[in-house]
Structure 1
Amino acid sequence: MVIGERSVAARCGRLCIDLHVPISGDRSREQGGQAEARDQARSELGLEHEGRGQPSGPRKRGPAVSRARPDNGGKVLLNVEDVSLAFGGVKALQQVSFDVYEHEIRAIIGPNGAGKSSMLNVINGVYTPQHGRITYRGKVRANMDTHEAAAAGISRTFQSLALFKGMSVLDNIMTGRNLRMKTGVLLQALHLGPGRREELRHREFVEHIIDFLEIQAYRKTAVGRLPYGLQKRVDLGRALAMEPQLLLLDEPMAGMNLEEKEDMCRFVLDVNEEFGTTIVLIEHDMGVVMDISDRVVVLDYGKKIGDGMPDEVRNSQNVIDAYLGVVH
């Protein structure tokens, strides 16, 4: 399967129209000293330049330009085969199969209780299925736990925020670098020699993520003091700090207002397009799903009832019945 050209405007256009938000023009959010905050951060790190591959100056969010997804010949990054999961007599997943191509955005949708979050929990090792298998990057991952999943390049956000509310934005995102730490706890605590040099390298990486997510002005602010939409950005930033090849997003736009949702939509697209990160997301907002997803799989009562391109899924009678019910 070859995923062809689609512009950010085309993929986000209907959503932006629904929200009455322009999709062209200067979308810079750099206000109120954000540039100064970024310069201060880089000065603390001893950086004279912006860093590898980072945009200089304020980051613009428009006008949108077309981009071509890499022609990978339909290379499969993740393959879910005949997966079943039960909790006692409750069947959360029943023989579910689907695949995810490299560099695509793959959505999992379905009514409440359909098994969507359980599916993500199987993929990143929270749950071990009773039947079926997960193949990731060409290798069968049998009984993979969460630590092994993270080490393999799978990162995850959850429905409920699990941030450290008393810690700063910077420190919260830094926790995502834990697996990349090579020096021991003692050297890190003493902040000397190799420990200090390693921390500075990781902080430089995190500063780029903060810049990317346009939260420079809040880098030293305790997360608990931020609005919900900004906390969701921090949660995304922590997941990105792990440098994932596969990013699992569990309802990344839940609870957001219209402007926050439109911004998060653009960040998800940018992560996919600029970083080349493969994304599997759960989202209840069908406008978002249909606009930004390359393919959609639909679950209902733990069973797969639909799989295909957004328009195919949108017009599927099985999907319509699952969401609206069937008249008997």
Structure 2
Amino acid sequence: MKFLNRLYIDGFILSIAAVAILGSLFPVSGTGQTVLDWTTKIAIGLLFLLYGARLSPAEALHGLKHWRLHSVVLAATFVLFPLIGLALRILAPTVISDDLYTGILYLCLVPSTVQSSIAFTSIARGNVAGAIVSASLSNLLGVFVTPLLVILLMSTTGQATVDPSSVIDIMLQLLLPFMVGQLIRPLVIDWLMRHAEPTKLVDRGSILLVVFSAFSVSMADDIWSTVTAIEIVAVVAVCVLILAAVLGITAFAGAKLGFSLPDRIVIIFCGSKKSLATGLPMASVLFAGQPIGLIVLPLMIFHQIQLIVCAALAQRLAKRSDPEAVTS
């Protein structure tokens, strides 16, 4: 137990591993998948409603005005990641296949996650208002920026198009609940300040639902049978290296640029994430007629690694005694 404590492996991280196993052993399909999708959407919507209710309008306005912070996060998402992805071209086709490299480069081009970035920022006692704006802005811009980066940096068949309804879906699922939370804030803020457990439960619950859904879909589509064990190990190793590099660079850049610790937490968590929920639908359009299962496999693996690693990091930051001391 002392060894696990030193590694900051607590119940939340074990829960992530448990639901991943459950999703692999008991994948859902058909009506069950539809129910799971809607349950996840509702949980994410509830998460943003609670964040809207907890944030004062002054805090939200401050988050919107913090463009220096958002610029660093966007630079990490749409500049740093793509550069790393291009540099990894030397691995194909000797270490990994061309299709898997295409997937690795693609994961470097998708936008940041929203719910997990904000949830981990909240757990780590970071700037939640800034995280909401940074993560949402990354996802909104990603609808347009990711296809452009794919066209510029990758060879695709046909023209890459994005359904405009993606923007509407983001607004309905994220921004609308947040605004509703702002409107009902006077009615519920006293109760929420006295009871922190509902927000914590939704924080963690939404992440667990996303993990379960991702592994369930991978098993239902039989993606794992299309690659060898050695290839999977190679992709896992590459994903770990990418995440380690980005976490290190974002932490270093946040400190060198003079950001406060709460803002540096935003840069670390929002700047190091990649969205499976946004990346999968885009891939089905951008890579029509190509081996989509192989292309999205690195994104799926990276998504799970980032959740486990960032969960440990968020828990570690949450336990700090000095609010301005970064735990190494």
Band of TM-score, shorter chain: under 0.3
TM-score, normalization by structure 2: 0.27
- Structure (1/2) with the larger helix percentage: 2
- Structure (1/2) with the larger strand percentage: 1
